[in-house]
Amino acid sequence: MRIIGGMPAPERKWPWQVSLRINNEHMCGGSLIAPQWILTAAHCIFGFEEYTVRMGSVLLHPQSGMAIPVQDIVCHSFYDVRTLSNDIALVLLAHSVNYSAFIQPVCLPEKNFEAEAGTRCWVTGWGRQMADAIVLPENLQETDQILLRHTLCNAKLQTELGYRRMLVRKGMICGYHEDLKSPCKGDSGGPLVCEFNDTWVQVGIVSWGVACGRSELPIVYTEVSSYKDWIMDHIIKVSSCASAGFFILSLSLVLPLGILVTL
């Protein structure tokens, strides 16, 4: 997805934002959560492609910043391409990054933390600015989103799609903006962050939506707090293996080719 109706983000405001790339082409967003780890969406991962991660600049094609090869990717083993349940992935960088004014990690919420409906949060990305646009914006875009109750979000999406089945499942949260501002294609995997007690916390990962820039329809995000244990378990496991002089990731957690990118 790309931010429709957003504004250019100033340098250093969102220093955890990264661009996940194949052949230096922007595919999805992501967020830096540790010196060697990126959080993104599982639907952004296309089998065994070689990825790089770009960070340290608000520009899509900067002369500064850094591009780091990806060593490994782990996707949630219960990711469902049909429902987009468990749409979460961890990207292990080939080496750790040094923090600076331009590169900082975002904080993660506590396990099962629930941000209240009505909370004003922010989403960022280099996705399309119009639903039918081809060219992506050069400058990182930002816009606010208001968190929406599960029941209301599900009802709105069910009405639009004519479905009776549950669309907004456990592990998902919703956000919307009344003035046609939303993520769009190219923003997938990027962070939804809220400020609590002067600290920015990532509550969501851009996952899916019915259409870009429609004020009556919410955008659905992966709820980060629901996966706090999953995130920490994998980071700790890999760190332990690395300290022992070897590295193992289960191939069963690597997604096959042909995954549909919703946003």
Pair (95, 37) in one structural domain: yes
Q: Is the pLDDT of residue 213 over 70?
A: no
Pair (153, 204) in one structural domain: yes
Tell me if 9 sits within 8 A of 141, measured CB to CB: yes
Residues 259, 75: Cα–Cα separation, whole Å: 12
Q: Is the pLDDT of residue 175 over 80?
A: yes
Pair (166, 202) in one structural domain: yes
What CATH number should be reported for the domain holding residue 238?
2.40.10.10
Structural domain containing residue 178:
106-225
Number of domains composing the chain = 2
H helices of the chain, in order, are 150-161, 228-243
> Would you please indicate which residues are annotated as catalytic (active-site) residues?
43, 87, 188
Q: Phi, psi at residue 241, to the nearest 5°?
A: -65, -40
Q: Phi-psi category of 48—alpha, beta or left, where left has phi over 0 and alpha has psi -120 to 50?
A: alpha
Asked if residue 246 belongs to a domain, the reply is yes
Asked if residue 8 belongs to a domain, the reply is no
pLDDT score, position 263: 55
Mean pLDDT of the chain: 85
Q: Is the pLDDT of residue 63 over 80?
A: yes
Residues 6+ apart with CB under 8 A from 150: 168, 172, 173, 174
Pair (117, 28) in one structural domain: no
pLDDT band, very low/low/confident/very high, at 186 (cuts 50, 70, 90): confident
Beta pairing partners, 4: 182
Asked if residue 1 belongs to a domain, the reply is no
Per residue in 71-96, pLDDT (tens digit) is: 999 999 999 999 999 999 999 999 99
